[in-house]
Amino acid sequence: MTYKFADHDIGITRTSGTNVGLMLLRDRNGNPLYKEYAEPILAPQRFDGTPDISFQPPDREVPIILDDFREGFGQRIYDTAEPKRYYYTINGDARFKGEFILGPLAATVTKPSTPSDPTITDGNLELWDDAATLTNWTETGAGTLSRDGTNQEQGTFCAQMAAGAMTVYQDVDSTNDYAGVEVVFTARGYATVAGRARVGVEDGTTTLR
């Protein structure tokens, strides 16, 4: 009988081109009874010898199920010596046993700025308003400050302090950038009595000499 959609459950096309309509057997509830089978691509063959994997159909897919990849990426070919290593992943995180989860979102990392070195103006004591007054330094105490052009380490002048205790200092711009940071500076001095010349740093809380 020629296949008709309204009258038949399935239709088979003959090599001649005609369609034959067929009815399926049904259960007591009226549901059609049928099964589906996957037809192999290659024709079945018979082999003689020891049954092993070489006799498997070449088109057969053999699943390998793994759930632990904690050894990391980089293994292109599976190796039994490193069964927990995989080839590569994109946005995947395999660090944990039995889990393969989405990787963390990318975020911008801001590199902290490096503070510039503290700057001491006229560190060589070359600039003077007059023979007894430094331009960029402040002097306090009972001693006498004078410009000296004989004992300088380099340049033209140095400062000479005599006849009493006194301090010559300069305020350096310091911010929180220097908190907890080691700052190194050097100075040259000449004293007629040992231990009389000292160099110090004061941070507002502690004075180091």
The tens digit of pLDDT for each residue in 73-118 reads: 898 888 888 889 989 888 889 888 888 888 888 788 887 777 677 7
- Residue 166's H or E segment, with its range, is strand 166-169
Q: Are the CB atoms for 55 and 61 separated by under 8 Å?
A: no
Lowest-confidence region among 49-53, 100-104, 167-171, 191-195: 49-53
Determine the average pLDDT of the residues in 191-208: 77
Q: How far apart are CA 192 and CA 209, in angstroms?
A: 19
User: What's phi and psi for 177, nearest 5 deg?
Assistant: -60, -25
Q: How far apart are CA 209 and CA 201, in angstroms?
A: 7
pTM of model > 0.75: no
Confidence at 175, pLDDT banded by 50, 70, 90:
low
Determine the average pLDDT of the residues in 41-52: 74
Confidence at 183, pLDDT banded by 50, 70, 90:
confident
Instruction: Write down the pLDDT at residue 136.
Output: 93
In the predicted structure, residue 7 carries a pLDDT above the cut 70? yes
Instruction: Write down the pLDDT at residue 128.
Output: 94
| Greatest pairwise CA separation for the chain in angstroms | 133
Give pairs for 23-29: CB < 8 Å, separation 24+. none
What token pair was written down for 24?
Answer: 């399926």
Q: How far apart are CA 209 and CA 20, in angstroms?
A: 110
Determine the average pLDDT of the residues in 168-176: 77
Confidence at 209, pLDDT banded by 50, 70, 90:
low
Q: Which residue has the higher pLDDT, 132 or 60?
A: 132
- Paired with 13 in beta bridges are 19
Instruction: Write down the pLDDT at residue 6.
Output: 86
Domain boundaries, the chain: 1-25, 69-104, 128-208
Q: Are the CB atoms for 120 and 170 separated by under 8 Å?
A: yes
Instruction: Write down the pLDDT at residue 47.
Output: 75
Residue 182 neighbours by CB under 8 Å, 6+ apart: none
3-state secondary structure of 53: helix
Give the model confidence (pLDDT) of 129-162 as tens digits. 999 999 999 998 888 899 999 988 888 999 998 8
- Measured from the Cβ of residue 128, the count of other Cβ atoms closer than 10 Å reads 19
Q: Which residues of 162-183 are buried (b: 16+ CB within 10 A; e: fewer)?
A: eeeeeeeeeeeeeeeeeeeeee
